[in-house]
């Protein structure tokens, strides 16, 4: 049975990806900060997919030591990791001149450093897969500066740059690296925004695109995926 690791998988895009991979016969290791949500998801998923091994571990990916501890627990359970999805992220709007002190450090620690440290830790197990694939969930905020982007946009630009450098380093291996940059997706943060659900994408759209990319032959690597609502960004 193939294995996948997903950060920030208790809601939104991460949860949709987790459920897509379970449907496809994967075992999972996920992490998030809320233990109750993790336990509830694991119970429900285990009932639906009894053949799967599911690790649901509490970890604040903004803290390096917790990322490394999560990675160690994953490697204790899985000798091979086939898919790594660096999905965990936080959004704090602001402008560079006026945003609160510490915004950049917090956003970089969650949106970039977590992916960097987890990927470095798990690469030995990903190398053991004949079809290893690393997905970094970036954002259209990584592609173009916009008002109020501030440190959030900086952190997503950095994650995209990390993806490009990692792909270059791994191109002579069997590991593929894909940066997936969605625009507005209907998740918890948008449900109370007043924006019509029909105006923006579904989390399942992102999960389906990830699976389509993974399902290609080993000789094909989709380097960058950009997804936007049909009517454009909000």
Active-site residue list: 152, 156
Burial class (CB in 10 A: 0-12, 13-18, 19+), 76: exposed
Tell me how far apart the alpha carbons of residues 72 and 161 are, in angstroms, rounded to a whole number.
Answer: 26
As beta bridge partners, residue 227 has: 182
Tell me how far apart the alpha carbons of residues 193 and 196 are, in angstroms, rounded to a whole number.
Answer: 9
Tell me how far apart the alpha carbons of residues 102 and 150 are, in angstroms, rounded to a whole number.
Answer: 12
Angle of helix 150-170 versus helix 114-126 axis, rounded to 10: 20
Tell me how far apart the alpha carbons of residues 34 and 36 are, in angstroms, rounded to a whole number.
Answer: 6
The helix/strand/coil state of 213 is helix
As beta bridge partners, residue 179 has: 136, 224
DSSP string, 119-179: HHHHHHHHTTSTT-EEEEE--GGGTS--TT-HHHHHHHHHHHHHHHHHHHHHTTSS-EEEE
């Amino acid at each position: 049975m193939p294995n996948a690791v997903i950060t920030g998988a208790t809601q939104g895009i991460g949860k949709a990806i987790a459920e897509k991979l379970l449907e496809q016969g994967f075992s999972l290791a996920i992490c998030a900060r809320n233990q109750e949500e993790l336990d509830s998801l694991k119970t429900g998923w285990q009932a639906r997919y009894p053949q799967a091994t599911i690790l649901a571990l509490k970890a604040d990916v903004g803290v390096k030591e917790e990322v490394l501890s999560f990675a160690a627990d994953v490697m204790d359970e899985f000798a091979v990791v086939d898919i790594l999805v660096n999905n965990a992220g936080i959004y704090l709007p602001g402008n560079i001149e006026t945003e609160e002190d510490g915004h950049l450090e917090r956003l970089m620690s969650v949106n970039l450093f977590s992916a960097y440290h987890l990927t470095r830790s798990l690469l030995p197990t990903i190398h053991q897969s004949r079809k290893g694939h690393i997905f970094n969930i970036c954002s259209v905020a990584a592609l173009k500066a916009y008002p109020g982007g501030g440190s959030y946009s900086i952190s997503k630009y950095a994650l995209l740059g990390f993806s490009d450098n990692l792909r270059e380093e791994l191109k002579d291996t069997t590991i593929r690296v894909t940066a997936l940059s969605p625009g507005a997706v209907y998740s918890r943060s948008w449900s109370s925004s007043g924006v019509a659900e029909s105006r923006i994408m579904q989390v399942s759209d992102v999960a389906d695109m990830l699976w389509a990319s993974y399902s290609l032959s080993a000789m094909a690597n989709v380097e960058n995926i950009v997804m936007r609502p049909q009517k454009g960004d909000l």
